Homo-oligomer: A and B are copies of this chain.
Amino acid sequence: MYRTHTCGELNINNVNKSVTLCGWIQRIRDKGGMIWIDLRDRYGITQLMFEEGSSSDTLIKQVRELGREFVIQVRGFVIEREAKNSNILTGDIEIRVDTITILNRSETPPFTIEENTDGGDELRMRYRYLDLRREIVRTNLELRHRMAAKTRIFLDSEGFIETETPCLIKSTPEGARDFVVPSRMHTGEFYALPQSPQTFKQLLMVGGFDKYYQIVRCFRDEDLRADRQPEFTQIDCEMSFVEQDDVLNTFEELAKHLFIEILDIDIKNDFPRIAWSEAMEYYGTDKPDIRFEMKITNLTSLVKGKGFKVFDNAEYIGGICASGCAGYSRKQIDNLTAFVQKPQIGAKGLIYIKFFKTDQKTEDNRDYKSSIDKFFPDNELEMITSAAGAEPGDLVLILAGEKKQTLYALSELRLEMGTILGLRDNNKFAPLWVTDFPLLEWDEETKRYYAMHHPFTSPKAEDTDKLETAPGEVRANAYDLVINGVEIGGGSIRIYDNQLQKTMFKCLGFSEEEAQSQFGFLMDAFKYGAPPHGGIAFGFDRWCALFGGSESIRDFIAFPKNNAGRDTMIDSPSPISGEQLKELNLKIEKKK
């Protein structure tokens, strides 16, 4: 062993002890007569001390040849520090060093190994092994490790069996795009990497495994966004002989377990459960951030037909009430207008009503000031603000247009106002279940229904007869866990009846042959006694990021890929040899 102790464990009780430490040089302070080195490893920082006269000349000479990030081994004695540092665990002591061995030299790193590094994203990705030395990055990955460990402990204690499912599976065009793996032994054939172990976990239920989980790598060949990675990790779970409430209760316990174990937050109350339709109506989104109220009010019937064209021509008019914001300046309102007019939000304009307190009134002594006061007299503005739940001093913000789009814009405006008002504290957590999702989504482009969740999600029993007559109205036994406006996980009670699964594929526009060739194995399995079952999958990277107080999952992945799906450190993807291509019987076609 190269060391007797780590750089994080020595304290006042170890004074006079002879020790050997190893680590990286974080910092050298040469004050002439005295030299101090901060020696760093995963466990902490220990101060090394050298004194001219007292330390040998050879040693002092050696020290002056060291540089940042050199890896050294030192032998010496623990002594009490004169100037103690209560910020670090080893702050009461330092090491009076007798000998130094340089284990490895270091060139000057391309960026500083500090919390606030001078390295940009790209540079840090390229030298990720150096970025990993930064405490903040290491702490994120330690959090991830603890999350996984605590998840396993909980699920193990609940009788779940962790079962590995294959990575080399079969491509199915439903859902996102698959990564494929050419088979050398079977010319012209391909494996696919799993987007999730969905069908396999269902087969495990058919196989009687009763309770399954896996923390598992999944793959999606999507055009990437900031918070997407081509490979990501799920906590994937499935249970037999359960109904929706059983699944929700079980995994609400898992979430509470992680809240207490990881964040020391004890959530005693049940998580709220709201139907998808309600979430859409009151928050404009299926993943509401309920750390703050500010619900959307549907004003359509109240304001339509009053001669204001913008409203009269709109399918939907809705508003939110920003508490205490009646005093907003023109500039503040303009900023909000610019926000909702951003192309990715797409509202045409923003209407406001300021509802003043008695001592604030307008110059002409009115209670209201609004961008629509030409069309709406005060008594009507009063009705609107009252509907929106506004009190004197509040600001009501109104958007109008096509319903779906306007609700989306309102939801974004709501989040923006929440942020502005400081209602979205990263240390506060508000989980909820969204349930009763629609089973199917109509796609205008391809003129067909798609499964909102996936094709194995069961319709609600009371809606099943609408499957062939009004598929768009059928609700699913599907649910999402949302925390702080982030979808952390989702699942459903599955179809386990062969005939119903066939009907479902028919609704999705599969011919019988297509359904059989892609999912025949699952429908076959359902012929041999499939139990009722359901489950859930959590986005593990995202959950870690949420608990770590970050928006980017990339900070919680040891070796992430960039937005072009590239690992710039190892330079992948990259060309392969002609010989490899030949063995695979593949030829690359030039892109036109």
A binding-site residues for B, Cβ under 8 Å? 1-3, 6, 22, 24, 40-43, 69-71, 73, 103-107, 109, 127-133, 138, 141-142, 144-145, 148-149, 152, 156, 161-171, 173, 177-193, 199-200, 203-204, 206-211, 217, 219, 221, 223, 230-231, 233, 240-243, 246, 496-497, 521, 525-532, 557-559, 561, 564-567, 569-577, 580, 583-591
Contacts and interface: CB of A to CB of B under 8 A. Distances in A.
A300 to B, nearest CB: 42
B104 A184 contact: no
A207 B129 contact: yes
22 contacts: A2-B243, A22-B241, A41-B210, A70-B529, A73-B241, A104-B496, A106-B527, A129-B206, A129-B528, A138-B208, A148-B162, A149-B156, A165-B559, A166-B567, A180-B584, A181-B181, A181-B573, A182-B182, A187-B588, A187-B590, A189-B575, A204-B558
B2 A241 contact: yes
A586 B581 CA distance: 10
Nearest to A585: B589
Contact of A529 (B71, B193, B230): B71
B531 A22 contact: yes
B164 A233 contact: yes
B167 A521 contact: no
A555 to B, nearest CB: 14
Given A2-B242, A170-B567, 19 more contacts: A1-B246, A24-B529, A41-B208, A41-B210, A43-B210, A104-B496, A107-B527, A132-B203, A132-B208, A141-B163, A152-B152, A164-B558, A165-B558, A168-B230, A169-B572, A179-B191, A180-B580, A187-B588, A585-B589
A209 B42 contact: yes
Contacts of A22: 240-241, 531
Contacts of A241: 1-3, 22, 73
B528 A130 contact: yes
Contacts of A149: 152, 156, 162
Given A41-B210, A71-B531, A221 B184 contact: yes
B219 A167 contact: yes
Top 5 closest pairs, chain A to chain B, by CB: A132-B207, A106-B529, A170-B572, A189-B573, A2-B241
Contacts of A166: 231, 559, 561, 567
Contacts of A43: 210
A225 to B, nearest CB: 13
Contacts of A589: 585-587
Contact of A530 (B2, B71, B208, B588): B71
A498 to B, nearest CB: 9
Nearest to A589: B585
A130 to B, nearest CB: 6
Contacts of A167: 167, 193, 217, 219, 231
